Structure 1
Amino acid sequence: MKFTYLFLLLAFFNFSQAQNAKITGKLVSETNEAVSYASISIKSPKKSTISDDKGNFEITGLTAGNYTVYFSAMGFTVQEKNVYLQEDQNLELTIVLQENMNTLQTVEITGRKEKSYRNTKSFIGAKTEIALKDLPQAVSYATKELIADQGSIRVGEVVKNFSGVSQFSFYDDITIRGFRINGGSNTQLLNGMRTSTGFWKQPLANYLERVEVLKGPSSALFGNASPGGVLNRVTKKPLDQAANSVSFSTGSFNTLRALADFTGPLTEDKSLLYRLNLGYENANSFRDLQFDKNIVIAPSLSFLPSDKTSVNFDLIYSGSKSILDRGQSTYEDNLYSTKTSNSLNSTNDYLNEETYIVTTSLNHKFTDRLSFSASYIRTGYNEDLVEHRGANKYASAGDGSLIPTAIEMQVFMRKRKRYIDNLSTFFKYEAKTGALKHNLIAGFDYAQEQVPVGGSQLTASGYRNAANTGFIASYNPANKANYLLDAKGNPVPNVAHFDLSNPSSSQQLKDMSKYFYVARPVDPTYYSLYGVYVQDHITFGRLQALIGVRYDEYTDKANYKKATEEKVKQHSFLPRVGLTYTVNPNINVYGTYVQGYNPQTASTLANPNAGGPFDPLESNMVEFGGKSSWFKDKLFVTVALFKIEQKNTLYNANDTANPDLMRPIGKEESKGIEIDLNGNITRNWSISAAYTYNDVHITESSIPEEIGRQKPNTPKQSGNIWTRYNFLDGALKDFGIAAGSNFATTRTMSQTNEQTLPGYTLFNAALYYNINKFKIQLNANNILNKTYWVGGYDYIRLFPGAPSNWLLTLGYSF
């Protein structure tokens, strides 16, 4: 028996010794830079790992024998190495991976493994993947790491990190270099494809890999677009390594948030990858009566049957329940006369929205030089709205004077739907002509948007008629006998005025059956466009040229679904020329000229009372700049000088009989300088910063007083900085701290030149603690409790920013 025990003990000892060998090492690039988050694997026995942020890796628990080790990283050629291990051996390897530009994706298929504030490549600037340093145009971006570190959940919170970008209102509504774009303008992008949102609520960011803005007119790439730039939201794509995380947040304004992100391979050969992002939010606001209940389900699949073919599928479903906030109202010409928390809503109000976005894409390589890509995206939006809102003016007294402490009110009850389709196809061909390298693209785009029949709205507004059987839209003291008057001789409103001196009394539940309503349909609209384009990315030594031209035809069905329906067509040729010169491996300089356009038809304006027809917006931009990398390519800096001109911009006509009436002005000009900085100063010190000087004003107008006026809600100067430092040693090991600030100077408002918004400077901070797979994070925003406004139309419709607030997040990765 003792012999048997001894035999088993020796066998166990030998077995444990036999599996004590390991392979360790480091992955570097040809420039001796660490290759982070690369995949290292052995097929038999099946073992795998990924390199850390220094490029180091380790595979343990191996027996003596021969192995083939595979090394792969995005942007590098897959490498394999045959090794022999002896018992107890620690085999150390240094693997140099060769960059493979042929692996640049035509469509973004697999996820980004880097974990920093820096992004090196983009699809937005050239239709296919291109190194940002080689793109002859400025791009601002925020990676998911920066978004997470700041505790941001909405795109509107993210754009403060971008030079030249600011909020116009607190909806999905921003300005880029002084030109406004919003979620309802059908020029925003998701993964480089045209889509839209409901405008009223900012898109959530938990399923996004990054948010980026391509500056300047981009019509040569995407068709009709704003001259300031386009905003592109890039979704998280599947990874070929399992990576899962969950987080829970709570904080100011009764915020509760739960997020989850799961990804990895579904098959042993990694030909099918998945990613699933989930989000739930239940939060109130510093604004009276406001709340947000959101749910997000965002699955993604990547099918890679061979190294020549890939297929992607993405779905984003968002369900939102909230109240539509029309902004803060103050006493006439007295900005600080009411609290920034005051809203004009009633407890009856609600806004229910549903959005789905489905994307499929195919990428196939016929040869090493020729490939084909096709992508299709469909967006569906459903709105169900009840709101008490201001009529954008103060209440009328019987003598026709205004009551500066009361807002005239109206009620909207509305249901409508919206559908957007976008198809993008192109061939890519790589060729050489002598010393010139060509990356040619020829493509076709098609897009359409429809607001179908069936949308409708009930409106209660104005003042009651003398018989108290209906209402008159506005009060005219010259016809006082036509109105129902109270004991003081004042007209009786159809919807009670909002009393700014006693807001709580005006926010109570209302008996909405007592209002008089008028019904009208939400006019159905339909537009379509198609574009054909060619582009060549030419490389000649240190010089690169990006040259393209696009023909676009836009068709709007005016009076859609009515007997008078007719097609209104507009078309445009759009050139694009850009040059990039590599001064040295760390510095590129560039110059570019681009043109843009944007139709101004019934479909794009979505307002039957706006007037028209109007000529399309026409724009052009000249931009020069430089792009530089520092600290061994860890920190990236872009400096851009630009000048944009646009004509035919629509401004409000200020017609009291029709407050929605628009009029075109002659010309606007935007010029300035932008600086963006993103990346790492050291391995544990990250930074993101931006600065903008933007002079954007009207240069030609039929109204002389308007010339020289700064465009609305656009500060002449703005900037931000955010920096994080992680402690690696000592008593503070595993801790991190971050601090940031952003500022904006004085801004004019869109409805008046006399009223302005003051500048502001905000300070934010965060603390982090990471231990093993757990993360604790505390964010504090607007630490000094600054009162400020992100934008406004006038003193009746102001959009205040949040006071001091905090958010605590607990996370776990596995």
Structure 2
Amino acid sequence: MLNPLLVEGQSESAYGPVEGPYAAQSATGTKTDTPLIETPQSISVIPSLRLEKQGATSLSEALRYSSGITGENRGGVVSRYDMFNIRGFDIQRGYLDGLIQPYNGWYNAPQADTAMIERVEILKGPASVLYGNATPGGLVNLVTKKPSTVDGGRVTLGAGTNNLIEGTVDMTGSLDENGEFSYRFIGAGRSQDGQAVTTEEERRLFAPSLTWAPTDATNITFLGFYQHDPESGAYGSAPVLGTVLDNPLGNLSADFYDGDAGWEEFNRKQYGAGYIFSHDFDEVWSFRQNFRYDQLGTDYKSVYANGLQADNRTLNRASIYSDEYTRAFAVDNQLTARFETGAVDHLMLGGLDYQYMNSDIEVGYGGAPGKDIYNPDHNQTIPPIPMFSNTNIKTNQTGFYLQDQMQWNGFTLMLGARQDWYERESFEQLSSARSNLEQDELTLRTGLLYKFESGFAPYIAYTESFEPQTATDASGQPLDPSLGEQVEVGIKYEAPNERAFFTFSLFDLKKTNVATDDPNPAAPPNASIAAGEVTSQGFEIEAQLELVDGWNIAAFYTLLDLEITKSNDGFQGKMPLSVADETASLWTDYTISEGSLGGLTLGGGARYVGETQVDQANTLQTDPYTLFDAMVSYDLGRVSPQLQGTSLQLNGTNIFDKEHVTSCYNALWCWFGAERQVKLTLAYEW
């Protein structure tokens, strides 16, 4: 007789690491731990392991391999912000662990380093039913790394092009024998030259966390982080002549700099502290509360391009500064109930959330001397800048939502509704001007999915969103919120062996009540009416699979038709800026486990981005481009037992150093994409 063998396992959690070749769970789309195959809406998940293999250190870099997204809209020079759009609509509000990150709409915008991110989750289409005020394109939720009761860690040291030096540390484990207390500490530091000449980038990150699990039913995790970016490249651009169009005097290079080295400044500090609490009362009722307090401050100065003179070489310029500081907090209370009514299983969610933000924004505008773009002087005298405005903005949002996920014989029916109350108060101290905005909105969501035993799951869904507007009508009253509504049909497939997951989706998305010019001749200047409309139609394909042990493939394709369908501004029938009509990408990596090459991993990818519009009249487009990336890593423990846990990894992005323009705002401002970057990383893991 043999002694009993006890095997313990744990399925993937929507809040933790991805255990297989792809993510099977997500909480972003439902705020419940729901399998993606049972969620009637398109959701993408990028796990931290893929971020490590691709060498991504920002959200912009993480989104290079995904569907429905036109990313890196400000190219490689502007790396301080993650600027992208989903299904054609700009995303300006990010989420961290399901809670909104503070952003006041100017230059004081947060950016999270991927060193503390466990998974990137992309919800496509309107999401107001769960999150309130949101663009109709969707949202991105960053899930942070949490403590584990299993002792372990990872330390890295990297060096690369542009004088890159970086290091990270990630340690976790139990603080007692019973695993009641566990911790995690994440630190990261980075220094490199910016893509624009004379500029630099620096970052320091500390992110501690502590979990207390007094019982199997109760868990609270305290989370904190501090991130300081004392330097962050540039926010400049290049004129269309010499980038998209040939300049008779010669074209510009991707490291072009329109600013001034002595005037350039960007110093950002981010603080965050909060907790995630959960408690299971019994097999039916559970409660979850997320809370985070944020502080975000940015000092910013720059000289920027303002048009090319007739000699095709003298660049007109202007100057700007801003001092901004934001205090914010958000809390989300979720009560769930699992029960049955006859043959129907219910997962009912009721929630109440609140967001508050208080921002002080001082801005000044001034002049600057011109610059010879072919013989540049990067150290000129910039005149002092007068203050233009000094504004305090307070916003708060309260939302109450209900959702029911019902399952019966393979069918999943999702119904959701939310009522929001939004307030915005602005006070401009120089003019003593005040403005107040109070709006409320009801949004709905429904979806139906059927999962066949073969693994196929067709679905259809309808979702809504809303965004408050500060534009005013002829009487000076704020316009009603802009609204988003989407009909999406698609099919998902999960292989029985859990080695493949596919999603195909067709969508028809509209943004209505968009501010557009008031056509009444008697209306005052800048008066608007909420009669504009933007339509986004297209389809997306995602495929993630493990063909054989160690060989992973992720493929993505998007075809998008975006059009301004109603407008009094003269742009009806045109396509908005910075949106590619077509994108495609493919990433694959293979790890050799046996033989003389055992421990070697080879990976690479290709990403294609179609044309984007240069101007609102759609008279000029950027050129499509295809970029190639590669990686190779080796487990040094295969060489010597003393090197167990040690590895080397070499990453290269845009390995053929293709010069390309990612987007333009008009003929004044275009942005070069990131140049070739190479990085070698030494890692030790235990």
How is 1:137-156 mapped onto 2 (pairs within 5 angstroms)? 137-156=41-60
CA contact (8 A) 1:150 1:779 kept: yes
Alpha-carbon distance between aligned partners in 2 of 1:306 and 1:624, rounded to the nearest angstrom: 42
Q: Secondary structure at the match of 2:222?
A: strand
CA contact (8 A) 2:654 2:676 kept: yes
CA contact (8 A) 1:316 1:356 kept: yes
User: Per-residue CA shift, 1:190-231, capped at 9, x if unaligned?
Assistant: 111111366667532111011111000000010011111101
Alpha-carbon distance between aligned partners in 2 of 1:645 and 1:290, rounded to the nearest angstrom: 41
Q: Secondary structure at the match of 1:145?
A: helix
TM-score, normalised with respect to structure 1? 0.76
CA contact (8 A) 1:629 1:636 kept: yes
Give the counterpart of 1:428 among 330, 336, 340: 336
User: Per-residue CA shift, 1:733-773, capped at 9, x if unaligned?
Assistant: 21111111000111103555223211001111111111321
Give the counterpart of 1:385 among 286, 300, 304: 300
Instruction: Identify the residue that residue 640 of structure 2 maps to in structure 1.
Output: none
Q: Which amino acid aligns with 1:72?
A: E
Alpha-carbon distance between aligned partners in 2 of 1:628 and 1:394, rounded to the nearest angstrom: 53
TM-score, normalised with respect to structure 2? 0.90
How is 1:687-726 mapped onto 2 (pairs within 5 angstroms)? 687-703=553-569, 706-726=571-591
How is 1:719-798 mapped onto 2 (pairs within 5 angstroms)? 719-749=584-614, 753-772=618-637, 773-798=645-670
2:274 matches 1:359: yes
Instruction: Identify the residue that residue 499 of structure 1 maps to in structure 2.
Output: 372
Alpha-carbon distance between aligned partners in 1 of 2:271 and 2:35, rounded to the nearest angstrom: 31
Instruction: Identify the residue that residue 599 of structure 1 maps to in structure 2.
Output: 468
Q: Secondary structure at the match of 2:369?
A: coil
Q: Secondary structure at the match of 1:273?
A: strand
CA contact (8 A) 1:776 1:809 kept: yes
2:112 matches 1:239: no
User: Per-residue CA shift, 1:48-84, capped at 9, x if unaligned?
Assistant: xxxxxxxxxxxxxxxxx998865433339xxxxxxxx
CA RMSD of aligned residues (A): 2.6
CA contact (8 A) 1:718 1:745 kept: yes
CA contact (8 A) 1:628 1:637 kept: yes
How is 1:335-350 mapped onto 2 (pairs within 5 angstroms)? 335=246, 337-348=251-262, 349-350=264-265
Instruction: Identify the residue that residue 445 of structure 1 maps to in structure 2.
Output: 353
User: Per-residue CA shift, 1:243-302, capped at 9, x if unaligned?
Assistant: 111111111111111011111111111111111111000011332122111011111222
2:30 matches 1:120: no
Instruction: Identify the residue that residue 37 of structure 1 maps to in structure 2.
Output: none
Give the counterpart of 1:456 among 352, 359, 362: 362
Alpha-carbon distance between aligned partners in 2 of 1:201 and 1:559, rounded to the nearest angstrom: 23
Q: 5+ unaligned residues in a row in structure 1: which ranges? A: 1-64, 77-103, 396-401, 462-494, 606-610, 654-658
CA contact (8 A) 1:173 1:199 kept: no
Q: 1:582 to 1:767 in 2, by over 3 A?
A: same
Q: 1:70 to 1:421 in 2, by over 3 A?
A: farther
How is 1:518-529 mapped onto 2 (pairs within 5 angstroms)? 518-529=386-397
Instruction: Identify the residue that residue 309 of structure 1 maps to in structure 2.
Output: 218
Alpha-carbon distance between aligned partners in 2 of 1:250 and 1:680, rounded to the nearest angstrom: 31
User: Per-residue CA shift, 1:320-350, capped at 9, x if unaligned?
Assistant: 0224322223537735622221111211111
Instruction: Identify the residue that residue 204 of structure 1 maps to in structure 2.
Output: 113
Alpha-carbon distance between aligned partners in 1 of 2:216 and 2:157, rounded to the nearest angstrom: 39
How is 1:78-89 mapped onto 2 (pairs within 5 angstroms)? none
CA contact (8 A) 1:251 1:807 kept: yes
Q: Which amino acid aligns with 1:339?
A: S
Q: Which amino acid aligns with 2:603?
A: A
Q: Which amino acid aligns with 1:74?
A: Q
Instruction: Identify the residue that residue 73 of structure 1 maps to in structure 2.
Output: 9
Compare relative contact order (CA 8 Å, sep 6+) and give the higher one, 1 or 2. Answer: 2
Give the counterpart of 1:188 among 67, 70, 94: 94
Q: 1:807 to 1:649 in 2, by over 3 A?
A: farther
Alpha-carbon distance between aligned partners in 2 of 1:600 and 1:213, rounded to the nearest angstrom: 25
**What is the CA-CA distance between 1:130 and the residue it aligns to?**
0.7
Alpha-carbon distance between aligned partners in 1 of 2:542 and 2:658, rounded to the nearest angstrom: 25
Which has the higher Rg, Structure 1 or Structure 2? 1
Alpha-carbon distance between aligned partners in 1 of 2:31 and 2:599, rounded to the nearest angstrom: 41
Instruction: Identify the residue that residue 373 of structure 1 maps to in structure 2.
Output: 288
Q: 1:301 to 1:67 in 2, by over 3 A?
A: farther
**What is the CA-CA distance between 1:405 and the residue it aligns to?**
2.4
CA contact (8 A) 1:331 1:500 kept: no
Pick which of 126-135 and 355-364 moved more: 355-364
**What is the CA-CA distance between 1:668 and the residue it aligns to?**
0.9
Instruction: Identify the residue that residue 540 of structure 2 maps to in structure 1.
Output: 674
Q: 1:584 to 1:334 in 2, by over 3 A?
A: same
Instruction: Identify the residue that residue 169 of structure 1 maps to in structure 2.
Output: 74
2:683 matches 1:811: yes
How is 1:317-716 mapped onto 2 (pairs within 5 angstroms)? 317-322=226-231, 323-331=233-241, 334-335=245-246, 337-348=251-262, 349-390=264-305, 392-395=306-309, 402=310, 404-452=312-360, 455-461=361-367, 495-503=368-376, 505=377, 507-508=378-379, 510-512=380-382, 515-559=383-427, 565=434, 567-601=436-470, 613-630=478-495, 632-649=497-514, 666-703=532-569, 706-716=571-581
**What is the CA-CA distance between 1:318 and the residue it aligns to?**
0.8
**What is the CA-CA distance between 1:807 and the residue it aligns to?**
1.0
Aligned residues: 655
Q: Which amino acid aligns with 1:555?
A: E
CA contact (8 A) 1:416 1:522 kept: no
Q: 1:793 to 1:661 in 2, by over 3 A?
A: farther
Q: Secondary structure at the match of 1:524?
A: strand
Alpha-carbon distance between aligned partners in 2 of 1:631 and 1:442, rounded to the nearest angstrom: 33
